[in-house]
Structure 1
């Protein structure tokens, strides 16, 4: 009985460790640490054209909302 309990606890700890690691590691070294999300940090300076920034913005508007500073749906309008 004691052996089964130890195995159950060990498996539970392994699963919990895996969950913690998978939740904390977004796989992107540029992830924003202050937003509490898995969104990579991107600024207009990361793009060479407005079209590139727009494509990224359109891929996930809630994640890249900082690319559209005035909220009109156009990302990094100052880029050509």
Structure 2
């Protein structure tokens, strides 16, 4: 009976340790910042979420897209290198 209790305690301890490590890693990822120091929500935790609706003109969206094409790839829906083509040019 004593061996059974030891095995149970070790099993529970290993599960708790795994949960602690898992929670620690996920909270670290949610606190990352992009280069400008602001946080945002996107699939890449270093990139703030931007949509074409965040801009008044295509050149504004293009400048943001050009600053980091990986982060802002959603601004170029057809992949031709031009961001938010439906926005006004001026």
2:35 matches 1:28: no
What 5-or-longer segments of structure 1 have no aligned partner?
1-19
Question: Normalising by structure 2, what TM-score?
Answer: 0.57
Question: Normalising by structure 1, what TM-score?
Answer: 0.64
What 5-or-longer segments of structure 2 have no aligned partner?
1-26
2:67 matches 1:59: yes
RMSD over aligned Cα, in angstroms? 2.3
**After TM superposition, where is structure 1 displaced by more than 2 Å over at least 4 residues in a row?**
20-23
Specify the structure having the higher radius of gyration (Cα): 2
Q: Hey, what's the Cα distance between the residues in 1 that align with 2:73 and 2:48?
A: 12
